Chains A and B, each alone.
Chain A
Amino acid sequence: MTALTNHAPVLLIAIPLLGAFAVPLIGKLGRQARNTFVGLIALITAAFAGLLAAHIFGQAGAPSLYVLGGHQGFGIPLPSGLSVPIRIILEVDGMGAFMALITALIMLTGAFFSFSYWKERSGGTLFYSLLMLLTAGIFGMELTGDMFNFFVFLEITSIAACGLIGFRVWLKTSQEAGFKVMALYTLSGLFVLLAVGLLYGQYGGLNIAYLASALTGSTIDIVALGLLLTGLALKAGAVPLHMWAPDAYGEAPAPMSAVLVANSQASLYGLFRILFTLFGLTISVGALGWILIVLALLTIFVGVTMALIQNDIKRLIAYSAVSQIGYMLLGVGVGLAVSAAKPDFGFVAMQGGIFHMLNDAACIGLLFFVSGVIIRATGTRDLNRMGGLAHSMKWTSVLFIIGAFALAGVPPFNGFASKFLIYEASFKLSPFLAVIAILSSILLLAVFVKVFQAAFLGAKQEGIGGEVPMGMMVPMVALALVVIVFGLFPGFFVDKIVTPAANALWYGRDAYIGLVLGGG
């Protein structure tokens, strides 16, 4: 068991990668064999994510190191006594393990939802291959301890995500969205690459811990930070760099929209890792925190107001997903703005922002799955042309209400728990922030009341089948359970998993560096 736990970080990347390349071969044996194989890979990966999380949270979020390809540590000692970190390392702390849990949850439910979703369509084999590749890339971004590998995994997710967004090549809109996302993701990747190059040129290392210990906060460092901030904010879909997100989430097959949200969150994680662990207090965190807060307020407000005027159900949920990225940015931005003085409310804001990542993944995933069910039943994405689904789909309508209320932050669902932490802490910094955040949540409720009224209420329509098959129902119910359980017992989860994750960013910089370079 310990051996498995020790190898869990690399297996989380290697097993989905193995799945990605083996799926096309297994797919030749038939649909049943392929689905069994994909399900097995997804389950094993999720089990390793759970194992890793149990290990990391068992040691209260303290970082763990995994060195690829060697047993004698990863430094090469020089005669001068210095040690140059050259090996490829994976470094997992509370935050990384927390993100791995989110990814595992969404990947597992997404894969199982897809089994029924793709039943009547062809070409599913390559779809699963891309899904596994995307999963491997996301895990890589979350677990790596090396800037260049971060860039490599970022590109892997970009390529796989473009394939998934443009997967339905027979649709013109899908092709267009895929192309748009390809262009913008490439741009984001180049920004990150240039920044990594600037850091490497100055300090001669790519290891995050080594760079963090060497950073001086020079002008070139600030330029690199600006490039990283722009590139990752673009990939996360923060306003004003969100223009790809509605197309991407809207055009991807419904189960993949949820995984794409997990992908955006991984970029957000990268941004937080860079701000807190790589740069820390070498830069003026106050100004930077306020930049994040302004981005966050824009994202929240623009996302919600754009969602309000949509008539296409997938685009509507896509804009709501964009607005939720803003809440995470707001929480962590408030934390960053005050991280020099480290008052209590800053830590609460971090907890809120980080907790909201998990909550958002669960409820936006649920909503995307429900939208897939709705589109499948009615054959349209136009809200004006659907209605009366509650007559034939009682359970689906209940699940939709759970997801929508959770996203809008209505108690007792999980969205309320994390949003409340964010409201409370941002109010301490400036009441104006809390006002915008609460107002937008209320608008979000209005958005989903509109969807509920349009899709589920009204006269029964002809030609609508009954309830969805079991294969789609189980993943949706699983996500709904997460939404409810995290909403009913937020204290337990905040203590057990959110606090170690927030700790890792807020206080964990020295431990992160010390584990690699010794001392600390």
Chain B
Amino acid sequence: MNSGMSLIVRTVTRLVYGLALVFGFYVIMHGHLTPGGGFQGGAVVASAFALLLVAFGAAGIKGRLNHHLLQTLEEIGALAFLALGFVGIGTAFFYNLLANSGSLFGGPVPLGPNAGVFNAGGTLPLMNWAVGLKVMTGIAAIVIAMLIGARKEETE
């Protein structure tokens, strides 16, 4: 069980893993333009991690996904989200300070129907990244914790 699954599954995982990561990061990155966002993209990335765990087993990925590192990253993601909320406190909590500022993600948004401007949205894309980081590491940490729990029960 812990040594992972069959050669077919592992080969497919090798192929799909990168695609899943790219798709997850795309969903996070375009969260302010297309359906999805930090939570959904983070869940997609975490599912790629879960795929690795299922295909290669806990032994196979030993050391590459560190439980403590994931937890730390999760907390950093949450703190970054809150920090972005505090950035606008001069006006109001969660005030979008970067919108229309001309700097990073501060591009102007044209009126009317358009294809979507990537360089717009102000703090929203950054918040998506913060939430994405929290969700991908959080769910990965939960999956690993459950795997450790299951392994303990097996050995008992």
Q: Which of B5-57 contact A (CB under 8 A)?
A: none
Flag if B71 contacts A71 (CB, 8 Å). no
- In the bound complex, what is the Cα–Cα distance between A71 and B76 (angstroms)? 29
Q: What residues of chain B lie closer than 8 Å to A67, measured between beta carbons?
A: 92
Flag if A14 contacts B85 (CB, 8 Å). yes
Q: Which of A31-66 contact B (CB under 8 A)?
A: 66
- In the bound complex, what is the Cα–Cα distance between A70 and B78 (angstroms)? 22
Does B1 belong to the interface (CB within 8 Å)? no
Q: What residues of chain A lie closer than 8 Å to B78, measured between beta carbons?
A: 21
Chain B interface size, as a band, is 10 to 19
Does B72 belong to the interface (CB within 8 Å)? yes
Flag if B79 contacts A18 (CB, 8 Å). yes
Q: What residues of chain B lie closer than 8 Å to A88, measured between beta carbons?
A: 94
Known contacts being A21-B78, A24-B71, is A71 close to B95, with CB within 8 Å? yes
A-B contact pairs, 12 of them (CB 8 A): A7-B93, A10-B92, A14-B86, A21-B78, A21-B79, A24-B71, A25-B76, A69-B92, A69-B95, A70-B91, A71-B95, A88-B94
Q: What residues of chain A lie closer than 8 Å to B82, measured between beta carbons?
A: 14, 17-18, 21
Does A340 belong to the interface (CB within 8 Å)? no
Flag if B93 contacts A68 (CB, 8 Å). yes
- In the bound complex, what is the Cα–Cα distance between A10 and B79 (angstroms)? 16
Shortest CB-to-CB span from B140 to chain A, Å, is 16
Does A22 belong to the interface (CB within 8 Å)? yes
- In the bound complex, what is the Cα–Cα distance between A67 and B92 (angstroms)? 7
Does B107 belong to the interface (CB within 8 Å)? no
Flag if A24 contacts B79 (CB, 8 Å). no
Which 10 pairs show the lowest CB-CB distances between chains A and B?
Answer: A69-B94, A21-B78, A10-B93, A71-B91, A68-B94, A21-B75, A21-B79, A18-B82, A25-B75, A24-B75
- Between A11, A14, A67, A69, the greatest number of chain B beta carbons within 10 A of the residue's beta carbon is seen for A69
- In the bound complex, what is the Cα–Cα distance between A69 and B92 (angstroms)? 5
Q: What residues of chain B lie closer than 8 Å to A17, measured between beta carbons?
A: 82
Give residues in A with beta carbon < 8 Å to B: 7, 10-11, 14, 17-18, 21-22, 24-25, 66-71, 88
- B71, B72, B86, B92: the one within 8 Å of A66 (CB): B92
Q: Which of B49-78 contact A (CB under 8 A)?
A: 71-72, 75-76, 78
- In the bound complex, what is the Cα–Cα distance between A8 and B75 (angstroms)? 24
Shortest CB-to-CB span from B106 to chain A, Å, is 16
Flag if A69 contacts B79 (CB, 8 Å). no
Flag if B92 contacts A68 (CB, 8 Å). yes
Given contacts A11-B93, A21-B79, A69-B94, 15 further A-B contacts (CB under 8 A): A7-B93, A10-B92, A10-B93, A14-B93, A17-B82, A21-B75, A25-B79, A68-B93, A69-B88, A69-B93, A69-B95, A70-B91, A70-B92, A70-B95, A88-B94
Residue of B at shortest CB range from A67?
A: B92
Q: Which of B78-113 contact A (CB under 8 A)?
A: 78-79, 82, 85-86, 88-89, 91-96
Flag if A7 contacts B89 (CB, 8 Å). yes
Q: What residues of chain A lie closer than 8 Å to B95, measured between beta carbons?
A: 69-71
Flag if A71 contacts B92 (CB, 8 Å). yes
Shortest CB-to-CB span from A145 to chain B, Å, is 14
Shortest CB-to-CB span from A220 to chain B, Å, is 30
Shortest CB-to-CB span from A287 to chain B, Å, is 41
Q: What residues of chain A lie closer than 8 Å to B86, measured between beta carbons?
A: 14
Residue of B at shortest CB range from A70?
A: B92
Shortest CB-to-CB span from A61 to chain B, Å, is 23
Residue of A at shortest CB range from B91?
A: A71
Residue of A at shortest CB range from B68?
A: A28
- In the bound complex, what is the Cα–Cα distance between A7 and B76 (angstroms)? 24
Residue of A at shortest CB range from B134?
A: A21
- In the bound complex, what is the Cα–Cα distance between A66 and B76 (angstroms)? 27
Shortest CB-to-CB span from B47 to chain A, Å, is 22
Residue of B at shortest CB range from A15?
A: B82
Q: What residues of chain B lie closer than 8 Å to A21, measured between beta carbons?
A: 75, 78-79, 82
- In the bound complex, what is the Cα–Cα distance between A10 and B75 (angstroms)? 20
Q: What residues of chain A lie closer than 8 Å to B72, measured between beta carbons?
A: 24-25
Q: Which of B88-145 contact A (CB under 8 A)?
A: 88-89, 91-96
Shortest CB-to-CB span from A123 to chain B, Å, is 14
Known contacts being A14-B85, A14-B86, is A22 close to B92, with CB within 8 Å? no
- In the bound complex, what is the Cα–Cα distance between A14 and B88 (angstroms)? 13
Flag if B89 contacts A22 (CB, 8 Å). no
- In the bound complex, what is the Cα–Cα distance between A11 and B86 (angstroms)? 9
Residue of A at shortest CB range from B123?
A: A69
Q: What residues of chain B lie closer than 8 Å to A14, measured between beta carbons?
A: 82, 85-86, 93
